[in-house]
Structure 1
Amino acid sequence: MTDTTHAAPGIHYGAAPEVKQKHRAMWALGDYPAVAAEIVAPLGGVLVDACEVGPGHQVLDVAAGTGTVALPAARAGASVTASDLTPELLAVGERTARAEELDVAWHEGDAEALPYPDGSFDVTTSCVGVMFAPFHRAAAHELVRVTRAGGRIGLVSWTPEGFIGQMFSVMRPYAPPPPPGASPAPLWGSEPHVLDLLGDRVDEVDTARAHLPVDRFDDGAAFRDYFKTRYGPTIAVYRTLADTPERAAELDAALADLGDRHLSGGVMAWEYLLLTARRR
């Protein structure tokens, strides 16, 4: 079965609702469902396996998008709640879950203020999702809070040094300044940063760096054009450059060069950090 509760009761956006609205709109740009299905999808299975998700588990996938983790977790027999700020992404995952008759509830929710009681879930996950919540400490607090004592937390995050982390570094000089107090998303892929965020509220922490092989692009220009039309953060940056075509051309060249430098034998290796831990 599948249940939908878009705009779930109890959702709140803290002190900066305009920031959340901008993030929601950004991830609705382009075609992130295609990026998730064509590139990111294998990471969902990685996280489900790492967290040993199985029948009887109550699982929350935070910043779930179209269900990269939620869907394979449900296929493994878990009862899953998928929470995301962007209802357009949830709707795509919901259609898949309905077609497969999977046990997934789809809730609109803010990763920094999750609308669930303390200790509600056996397993709490996020796959390249919660890392994009701008206020990292608030998001980390929520991940721990909603996990039961002894429950497992599992995260996959792009690393600062890896391909996607470098892509954001390339885009940063062309993007508007972040909101005050916000932290760069790829810091979630830095072991010291994420361990500091989780603190002494977790134990049995295990971290490992690995690479997602990506063989979709013939050259850096093909990568750039794919992200310019499908990936919300990249589209948003280019929109700010609409009146400065010379800067847009600079960014075009920089992203194509980044892609070319990371292609080897027709394959890119996108580094990510896999973290699992138990709540004390």
Structure 2
Amino acid sequence: MTTPLKDRHRAIWASGDYATVAADIIPSLGPLLVEACGIGPRQRVLDVAAGTGNAAIPAALTGADVTASDLTPALLETGERLAGARGAKLTWAEADAEALPFADGEYDCVLSCVGVMFAPSHQVAADELVRVCRPGGTIGLLSWTPAGFIGQLFAVMKPFAPVPPPGAQPAPLWGDEAHVRTLLGDRVTDVTVRTQRLRVEAFAAADGFREYFKRNYGPTLAVYRALQDDPARTAELDAALDALAARFRAADGSMDWEYLLVTAARADG
């Protein structure tokens, strides 16, 4: 699907260097989600909003038959190279999380690691996750929480960012248990929910987080680009991000980033 909003999302995630962010900051999250979903040989697995394959590649390395789907072709191209370097064989498919080009019940497991949460229409995306999962199959989601560091990053950037289109919902809501339970409803059973934290030790300098995300993280780059002709507002955002990092920064320079891990079974019928 090509619309101005989808084109904007593709451009945001193609900017910067998300593969570096995934490798430097969150390499443990994909394998953790794969393990939580119990993925193994010969299972048919779909990773929605897969990015560069943080979860899809470790899923494929278990022997599962994996399709990694994402809206942004540039991320898929990078992911395919990374998979080749690790000897992982899987299918890469350009796909909108809100209109997946896959059949009803096609997959034994449908998962997303800090990916589907960025689809603007949460209920539409959730409906698609459920639709393509077979009855009895597993749905697994790992999302940043609203109160955690990345959720607060988006809250801090919001006053500086362009106004979102009507109907677009904040991504970190996927990290709210009540919101996710409402999205999935009675179409799933055996729901397990865990709130956990990722220890991040990548930013030794006080301004390390800000400078790293300004270089590499698409959503942060997009906000700074919108302010490129306004040095005063740019300085305000710099200060706001430094204050955010200081709020979460421990004495040893590390940070704990909170996320919600949800697994559920697609209900029969």
* Class of the TM-score when normalised by the shorter of the 2 chains: over 0.9
Q: Which residue of 2 aligns with 1:51?
A: 37
Counterpart of 2:245 in structure 1: which amino acid? G
Measured after TM superposition, the shift of residue 220 of structure 1 is 3.8
Counterpart of 1:82 in structure 2: which amino acid? A
Measured after TM superposition, the shift of residue 98 of structure 1 is 2.2
Counterpart of 1:207 in structure 2: which amino acid? V
What is the alpha-carbon distance in structure 1 between the residues aligned to residue 165 and residue 207 of structure 2? Answer: 30
Q: Which residue of 2 aligns with 1:91?
A: 77
Work out which of the residue numbers 92, 96, 100 in structure 2 matches 1:106.
92
Q: Which residue of 2 aligns with 1:196?
A: 182
Q: Is the 8 A contact 1:219 1:263 kept in 2?
A: no
Q: Which residue of 2 aligns with 1:35?
A: 21
> Which deviations, in whole Å up to 9, do the C-alpha atoms of 1:66-106 show, x marking residues without a partner?
00000000111111000001111111110122233322100
Q: Which residue of 2 aligns with 1:7?
A: none
Q: Which residue of 1 aligns with 2:262?
A: 275
Q: Which residue of 1 aligns with 2:124?
A: 138
Measured after TM superposition, the shift of residue 263 of structure 1 is 1.1
- Aligned positions of 1:67-78 closer than 5 A: 67-78=53-64
Work out which of the residue numbers 132, 153, 169 in structure 2 matches 1:183.
169
Aligned pairs, how many?
266
Q: Which residue of 2 aligns with 1:215?
A: 201
Q: Which residue of 2 aligns with 1:256?
A: 242
What is the alpha-carbon distance in structure 2 between the residues aligned to residue 180 and residue 99 of structure 1? Answer: 41
Q: Is the 8 A contact 1:218 1:266 kept in 2?
A: yes
What is the alpha-carbon distance in structure 1 between the residues aligned to residue 236 and residue 86 of structure 2? Answer: 45
Q: Which residue of 1 aligns with 2:113?
A: 127
Q: Which residue of 2 aligns with 1:82?
A: 68
Q: Does 1:158 align with 2:141?
A: no
Measured after TM superposition, the shift of residue 144 of structure 1 is 0.3
> Which deviations, in whole Å up to 9, do the C-alpha atoms of 1:203-228 show, x marking residues without a partner?
10000000011000024411000000
Counterpart of 1:75 in structure 2: which amino acid? L
TM-score (norm 2): 0.97
Q: Which residue of 2 aligns with 1:149?
A: 135
Q: Which residue of 2 aligns with 1:5?
A: none
Q: Helix, strand or coil: the match of 1:36?
A: helix
Q: Helix, strand or coil: the match of 1:271?
A: strand
> Mean Cα displacement is larger for which, 262-271 or 57-66?
262-271
TM-score (norm 1): 0.93
What is the alpha-carbon distance in structure 2 between the residues aligned to residue 271 and residue 62 of structure 1? Answer: 21
Work out which of the residue numbers 120, 145, 160 in structure 2 matches 1:174.
160
> Which deviations, in whole Å up to 9, do the C-alpha atoms of 1:54-75 show, x marking residues without a partner?
0010000000000000000011
Measured after TM superposition, the shift of residue 248 of structure 1 is 0.5
What RMSD in Å do the two structures reach over aligned CA positions?
Answer: 0.8
Q: Which residue of 2 aligns with 1:242?
A: 228
Q: Is the 8 A contact 1:167 1:258 kept in 2?
A: yes
What is the alpha-carbon distance in structure 1 between the residues aligned to residue 177 and residue 63 of structure 2? Answer: 31
Work out which of the residue numbers 66, 84, 92 in structure 1 matches 2:52.
66
